[in-house]
Structure 1
Amino acid sequence: MLATTDRARAVWLRCLASAFRTALACTIVGCTTLYGPAAVQHHVAFPAFSYVTVILIVTDATLGDTLHGCWLALYATIQSVGPALLSLWLIGPARFTNGTISLAVALSAFVVAFPEGTHLIAKRIALGQIVIVYVIAFISGVDTEAIMHPLNVAASTAIGVLACVIALLLPYPRPACWELKQNCGRLAENVSERLNLYVKAFCAEDNALALTSISQAKPLTIAGAKLLQSIKRYQESVKWERLPLKFLRNFYLNPGERLQELEIPLRGMEIALTSTSSFPIRMLEAETKKVLVQLEEHVSLTLKQIKNCFPRDSLTVPESNADKIMESLQTLQATIPTNHEDLPSFFFLFCMKLLQSKSLAKRPITSTQQKESSTPCQKNGFFKSMWMGNWSTSVKCKRLMPAFKCSLSLGLAVLFGLIYSKKDSYWSGLPVAISMAAAREATFKVANVKAQGTVLGTVYGVFGCFVFERYLPIRFISLLPWFVVTSFLRHSQMYGQAGGISAAIGAVLILGRKNFGPPSEFAIARIVETFIGLSCSIMVDLLLQPTRSCSLAKVQLSKCFGTLSACVGSMSLAANSKTNLLEKQRRLKLDVSELGKFIGEAEVEPNFWFLPFHSACYCKLLASLSKLVDLFLFSADAVGLLEQESQKLGASWKESVNKLHGDVEIFKEMAGSLVKCFEDVTLLKSLTFLEKKLENKNISYDLELGKSSNWNIFKASSLKDDKIDSIISSYLQHSKEIVDKFHAADHEGERELKSQVVLCLSALGFCMSNLIKETREIEKGIIELLQWENPSKHINLYEISCKIHALNN
């Protein structure tokens, strides 16, 4: 209850602080444009875009984000205003027509959107400036000053940027390094609490106590993942706050990377506990529990020092105490477990030792790392690095389609906006410009929340104008509660960033300006123009990107199985196998992450006349694949440690490990063939389509004839628990034979080596056992998915595999 209250308080404080700084920046812009000197008001001719710049930069920003935003705004201005100034001066605003001005906007947008290295905020600001410069120049016609008009747009952007900087400095700065330190401290506490709960569950006397501790750790795991995301975000912002003074540089060093590494062993400990069939654990004795508690206290002490010490080089970890604890722990793993039910316990100890080694690891900042972490301005100069990053590698086919989509969307939005109402036409292009996405997104959902946010903000603005019609200064005060609301909207699942930002802009464009006509008329015009722009964006997405997210999810699922098959094939006890397995594991992790994005898009995608997306089934498959990613990582750690220890054993290890190679090969054969079957069947459009192709080509198949080539698939798919146990039991028996060849464990080095080998072999056995079990869970999910897509068919993976094999041969 206390943790929930603290979390609610933290969310409120964060939203209030963000709303206050946003309101302060908007107030600065409003005071400058409404009450500033006449010369300033003349040059800041587009206060609406000043407000847009503020919302784009200052929202949830730190001082580092704002300083970065200043450079991005400057770069965006040079990229958009410079060419626009030249175009207006050479062609002349009076010569443009609806078609030519839309074409000019589209071409300029393509130039901005095409480079891959340009930051998203810079692209949004540049695209917004393009719309303002060209469309308003066309609206004003001969009255437009070809030189001063683009410069006035640049001045309006500069006022917004300046307001952001001031708002982040008053009443006190919000440096990213401070936020980073706070989050690292919270993550250290989070890791310590989870570790305590996991050790408590491991030592529990019955199932109820163990399940209670595991359940208490689950919300902490979710909170830890969010803290890790925040830490990664602030680590980028910190780079823009570094000072050139050497004595201040150490203040900006952080233990974020080190804390992130501790997440991996904790995930393994959770997997071990959830895989344990019953409590108390048989191998535990009073001495064992005492040693585990000591180890947990030692890691917690290390975490406190990580939390409180800056920089991390200054850590003074009591390694002698840790060595004594590990010596005691080594006596617990004298022999390989003979029962596979004991494997989770040994895997838990393996993760505990991994956690302890990672918490003690010291990685001082080298000069190379300092160079890598310096800002772009410090390395090559900002613009040089920006242009080099953009154009040296940006000529890629994959960038053509997103840039063309952005260009066409913006051009059509401006064109149809001009056709509807020339006076307010830029409001159709501006929402498209400032909401450009960095990657593929759920088109209908994003357009929906943008429209809702625009309507909500506009209605609030009209209501505020009605209540405070005669009191213009009070309008700015009324923005503060609305910014609090929009801050919550941005962090909500319903509206997200797109809806929250649209709501904030909708209100400030009405409450922060004057002399734009009756608020109700402006509101209606802006809502209609926004609808035109969003409709054009949706239409272009449907025309140029017609593949539905659910189809992409299915293709990506098959791709994941292909990478998974490569991971299974990379498992080996041979030399240098860890590097190969880690490379495949990283690729699988990326593919699974991409699958998660497609599933998220497909869940909010409208079905129309298509088959509904089977979200529950895909989520189960995603969970199983994510677990497999972790298991392969632990397998790589175990294999790597075994490789290190085997060098101490010399030729005796090579002679003993041959039988283990055979067990691993049986595992690879079973799991790999089944995963290959998954890859094939998920690529099918439908079973009816497969049968028609077989019929059209007059291909007959025989289950008995196909059994020879697909026999491994049949054996793997029909594996019972006892058969899996027999494979693991064989592996454990051969591992025991290896360990029994060690001499008497009297010598300290011999005892440590034996303990390490026992833990690594047990961990590898646990990973193989769970890899097979998760593969069987995936099999159930694939059958459920195929049955969903083919409700009238009986699903038999072996039969389907034979048909595919017959068709391909």
Structure 2
Amino acid sequence: MSNIINTIGSTRAEVWRARLGSALRTTLACTIVGCTSLYGPEPLRRYIEFPAFSYVTTILMVSEATLGDTLRSCCHVLLATVQVMLVSLLSLHVIGPTNFSNHTAAIMIAVGSFLVALPGSLELVAKRIAFGQLVIVHVSAVINTAAEAGVAVYPIRAASSMALGVVASILAMLLPYPRLAYFEGRKFYRLYTENISEKVNCNIEAITASDSSTAAGFLSQSKSLSTIGSKLFQSIKTNIKGIYWERPHNPHCIDPKERLQDLEVPIRGMDIALSSCTSFPIGVIDEELRDVLIHCKGRFSQKLDQQDKCFAPFDATTSLESKKEILNKSISKAYKDLPTSFFLYCVHLLLDNSPVTKKIDPMVEKTKKSGDSKRVFRKIAEVVMNFMPSTHNLVFAFKCSLSLGLAVLFGLTYNKENGYWSGLTIAISFDTQRQATFSVANARGQGTAMGSIYGVLCCFIFHKYSDLRLLPLLPWVVFYTFLCHSKMYGQSGAISAVIGASLILGRKHYGPPAQFAITRITEATIGLVCFIIVEILVSPSRAATLAKTALSESLEALQECINKGLVIIPKEKDMPMACTSSQALREGQKKLKSLACQFEAFIAEAELEPNFWFLPFHSGCYRKMRESLLRTADLLLFVAYSMEQLTQLSQKDNGGSGVDLQDGMNETIENFKKRVGPTLKCLEEITKMKSLRKLEKELKKRNLPCDIESGEYPNADTFLMGDEEADIILGSFFKHLEGIASKTENNRDEEMLFHYSCWGFCISNLVREIIKIEKEVREVIMWENPSNQANMKEIYCKISTLRSQ
């Protein structure tokens, strides 16, 4: 217990120190910008005409970044600056800096932002900074219409202000010592391995617990460790790109992403096994098997310590010994209790370094060797396609172009002298992914107002000491770093808050602070209104609607994955077919996992968007379905891996075990597909339905009768109503499992039985997860149609009637 508390406490303390370090480095970068722009040499200050943009650059580049991230951002920012310079110089040369009007500036900004946003290879931070440069250059041409202004004056001054921010960012990453992504990633990797070690210990203690209350306590601790572990995993992934830019000279350094992936999947499998246990203590786990598990717990901790310190693979001899112990002690006792058997299977995978996520097959290797020339042409095609703008990039570029153009136009119309801020407010906060538009705009507006008010108050306090007004900006930057992680404001609101304060405290010659603050808040509101209008026009679909669409697409992908990947085990002469089916199952699993993650993003957005006159979003049901889909994706991965192992073992077996195994799997697959396939099809069709009221109106409009008692639509009776369906499917499986166990004679037969038990557990849990999804779909239909009893058979009968016409 104390180890778990220490692990959680040290992880939280390390995360807090990392955030504080990021805050201090951001403060250092802003201090460099402020001192240079306010107290630097006059020739230098003459070029830094837009210090506010320098603050924006540092805040965007330094926040929670490492040296590698900053170097990567610098390169992307330089490329974006070249684009901006070309577009700006061309527009200023053709139109002339003295001939710019409000409409001309808005059009040029719209065109330039479209060209900047179009390339998919350019980093988002670089695009945001480039948008800001475009706004500054073209609005300056409208405000300062002096005849002596040259073509290159405004682009050079905007680029100089940006360059100050870039230099300050690099210095902040180097002083007082470099903040390297390699060491940050290694630190979080160490915390993550400690977290994993304690989580595995909790899982083992839970399954070997002597009473249900003890098991519940360890399961609760395991969930807490999972929550912290997911955050550490994200921190590691964000540091990987920075590591590639730093490239430390370490021959033993390997990509941590692959290693963590091999650890994550078996641990998620252990969680699934524990959630399937009906009661504690588990009868099949006696003292002997308990000792084996406790011994494996120590071996796994030893393995993680060895990897963390030496970055070397685990000792194969030790792994083999642990594998034999698990096989010898579990096969004769635990194979009948599928959750326990699967738990032991996951322990074996953790100790054996088995690559569950990667398909290793001799037929695939032969195919790779024979297809070298094809791979070369495929690589060339991929490089060419990377330069072609995708549909997603076109939509993003159009959205940025229209939003910035309208914001600058209306901002200049309202107040010509401060027309920058309407465009800058949204230029620095565009995102390539969907956002909760109203919530994000609200957070930005609140952040702008909060930062501006703070700046005005500080100016009032330090009005007699104007040279010291930069000091209160520094604690506000620290506060901003922690505000980024709040649910209320998030990154968008936090950035708006710190920029709102820096524009007032870190500038000169903008007039009275209070008057400027009000003007800036008004300009920011103009920009946010334009942003919301364009978002609604370009993406009119609500997140709740998209979440339901993503659910139907996920169910369709699951059905396709089962149909193409879960096939009858072939004989030896059909080995290529076995490789093809296994590969199809893995590809389908990847597609399903991707759709489930997209589904999760839509759920999070739908929870934040306002209801207005729409029905409230039933987030509870959707989150449960999302959890079931993610578990289904994990189970399919185990199914693919166990099928590959069973296929290889059955080909080497000349006795009756391989034949019995093949017959058992074929019968189980046939029963599984027969019961699950039609159910998934029904659920897919029902989730595609827009509303039950529209469905009934369409039936009445076409005068189509629908009678479920007529028996014309047998598919309407295929819904799974309870866990008895899983028991029916497992009936034949257990019969063949007993037959294989009785013929076990050698280690190969024991290993075959081990993989077969895993396969059967995953199949049964796939059925149970689909049952859960069906129950939640029924709950959503009842939520959307409270006056209807939500008879699923009747609804599907109506859909079938309508589609048959």
TM norm. shorter chain > 0.5: yes
Query: What amino acid is aligned across from residue 792 of structure 2 in structure 1?
Result: L
Q: 2:523 aligns with which of 526, 529, 554?
A: 529
> Is 1:758 matched with 2:762?
no
Tell me the residue number matched to 1:714. 717
Tell me the residue number matched to 1:320. 317
Tell me the residue number matched to 2:222. 217
Note the alpha carbon deviations across 1:569-602, whole angstroms, 9 max, x for none: 2223422232111111110001111111111111
Q: Quick one: structure 1 residues 612 and 201, their matched pair in 2 at CA, closer, same or farther if it must change by over 3 Å?
A: same
Note the alpha carbon deviations across 1:496-527, whole angstroms, 9 max, x for none: 11111111111111111222211111111111
Tell me the residue number matched to 1:609. 613
Tell me the residue number matched to 2:165. 160
Q: 1:62 aligns with which of 66, 75, 87?
A: 66
> What displacement does 1:298 show?
1.1
Tell me the residue number matched to 1:41. 45
Q: 2:769 aligns with which of 748, 751, 774?
A: 774
**Unmatched segments (≥5 aa) in structure 2:** 359-378, 570-577
> What displacement does 1:156 show?
1.1
Tell me the residue number matched to 1:292. 293
1:322, 1:727 → 2: CA distance? Answer: 35
Q: Quick one: structure 1 residues 279 and 99, their matched pair in 2 at CA, closer, same or farther if it must change by over 3 Å?
A: same
SS of the aligned residue for 1:334 comes to: helix
Q: Quick one: structure 1 residues 549 and 722, their matched pair in 2 at CA, closer, same or farther if it must change by over 3 Å?
A: closer
> What displacement does 1:296 show?
1.6
1:717, 1:284 → 2: CA distance? Answer: 32
Tell me the residue number matched to 2:284. 283
Q: Quick one: structure 1 residues 86 and 726, their matched pair in 2 at CA, closer, same or farther if it must change by over 3 Å?
A: closer
Q: 1:498 aligns with which of 492, 510, 513?
A: 492
> What displacement does 1:249 show?
4.0
Q: 1:725 aligns with which of 724, 727, 750?
A: 727
2:551, 2:126 → 1: CA distance? Answer: 34
1:65, 1:616 → 2: CA distance? Answer: 37
Kept in 2, the 8 Å contact 1:70–1:161? The answer is yes
Kept in 2, the 8 Å contact 1:117–1:394? The answer is no
> What displacement does 1:44 show?
1.6
1:524, 1:537 → 2: CA distance? Answer: 20
Tell me the residue number matched to 2:794. 799
Q: 1:434 aligns with which of 428, 440, 450?
A: 428
Which moves more between the two structures, 23-32 or 654-663? 654-663
Q: 1:129 aligns with which of 127, 133, 145?
A: 133
Kept in 1, the 8 Å contact 2:51–2:507? The answer is yes
Kept in 1, the 8 Å contact 2:699–2:802? The answer is yes
Query: What amino acid is aligned across from residue 327 of structure 2 in structure 1?
Result: Q
Query: What amino acid is aligned across from residue 342 of structure 2 in structure 1?
Result: F
> What displacement does 1:328 show?
2.2
Tell me the residue number matched to 1:559. 553
> What displacement does 1:3 show?
5.1
Note the alpha carbon deviations across 1:225-249, whole angstroms, 9 max, x for none: 1111111110111111126xxxx24
Q: Quick one: structure 1 residues 705 and 685, their matched pair in 2 at CA, closer, same or farther if it must change by over 3 Å?
A: same
Q: Quick one: structure 1 residues 348 and 62, their matched pair in 2 at CA, closer, same or farther if it must change by over 3 Å?
A: same
Tell me the residue number matched to 1:488. 482
Which moves more between the two structures, 54-63 or 393-402? 393-402
Note the alpha carbon deviations across 1:380-436, whole angstroms, 9 max, x for none: xxxxx9xx9798543333332221111010000000001101000011101111111
Alignment: residue pair count: 766
Note the alpha carbon deviations across 1:750-785, whole angstroms, 9 max, x for none: 22x122211211111111211111111111111111
2:468, 2:749 → 1: CA distance? Answer: 76
> What displacement does 1:634 show?
1.5
> What displacement does 1:682 show?
0.9
SS of the aligned residue for 2:472 comes to: helix
**Unmatched segments (≥5 aa) in structure 1:** 364-384
Note the alpha carbon deviations across 1:528-563, whole angstroms, 9 max, x for none: 100000111101111222111111111111111111
2:392, 2:171 → 1: CA distance? Answer: 39
Q: Quick one: structure 1 residues 656 and 350, their matched pair in 2 at CA, closer, same or farther if it must change by over 3 Å?
A: closer
> What displacement does 1:337 show?
6.4
> What displacement does 1:485 show?
1.3
SS of the aligned residue for 1:639 comes to: helix
Query: What amino acid is aligned across from residue 107 of structure 1 in structure 2?
Result: V
Note the alpha carbon deviations across 1:433-462, whole angstroms, 9 max, x for none: 111111111100110111111111111111
Tell me the residue number matched to 1:30. 34
1:124, 1:251 → 2: CA distance? Answer: 37
Kept in 2, the 8 Å contact 1:418–1:425? The answer is yes
Tell me the residue number matched to 1:624. 628
> What displacement does 1:169 show?
0.8
Tell me the residue number matched to 2:113. 109
Q: TM-score, normalised by structure 2?
A: 0.91
Q: Quick one: structure 1 residues 343 and 5, their matched pair in 2 at CA, closer, same or farther if it must change by over 3 Å?
A: closer
Which moves more between the two structures, 477-486 or 595-604? 477-486
Kept in 2, the 8 Å contact 1:73–1:157? The answer is no
Q: 2:238 aligns with which of 230, 233, 239?
A: 233
SS of the aligned residue for 1:717 comes to: coil
1:660, 1:13 → 2: CA distance? Answer: 53
Tell me the residue number matched to 1:139. 143
2:12, 2:391 → 1: CA distance? Answer: 46
1:705, 1:357 → 2: CA distance? Answer: 57
> What displacement does 1:259 show?
2.6
2:155, 2:478 → 1: CA distance? Answer: 34
Kept in 2, the 8 Å contact 1:117–1:389? The answer is no
Note the alpha carbon deviations across 1:139-162, whole angstroms, 9 max, x for none: 101343212221111111111100
> What displacement does 1:701 show?
2.8
Kept in 2, the 8 Å contact 1:117–1:390? The answer is no
Kept in 1, the 8 Å contact 2:322–2:348? The answer is no
Tell me the residue number matched to 2:178. 173
Note the alpha carbon deviations across 1:666-694, whole angstroms, 9 max, x for none: 11121111111110011112222222222
Kept in 2, the 8 Å contact 1:739–1:757? The answer is no
2:706, 2:417 → 1: CA distance? Answer: 70
SS of the aligned residue for 1:657 comes to: helix
> What displacement does 1:567 show?
2.3
Kept in 2, the 8 Å contact 1:176–1:237? The answer is yes
2:214, 2:749 → 1: CA distance? Answer: 33
1:299, 1:337 → 2: CA distance? Answer: 21
Tell me the residue number matched to 2:393. 399
Query: What amino acid is aligned across from residue 552 of structure 2 in structure 1?
Result: S
Kept in 1, the 8 Å contact 2:100–2:141? The answer is no
> What displacement does 1:484 show?
1.9
Query: What amino acid is aligned across from residue 170 of structure 1 in structure 2?
Result: L
Which moves more between the two structures, 636-645 or 531-540? 636-645
Note the alpha carbon deviations across 1:634-665, whole angstroms, 9 max, x for none: 21121122122112115852465134212211
Kept in 2, the 8 Å contact 1:110–1:403? The answer is yes
2:541, 2:355 → 1: CA distance? Answer: 49
Query: What amino acid is aligned across from residue 323 of structure 1 in structure 2?
Result: L
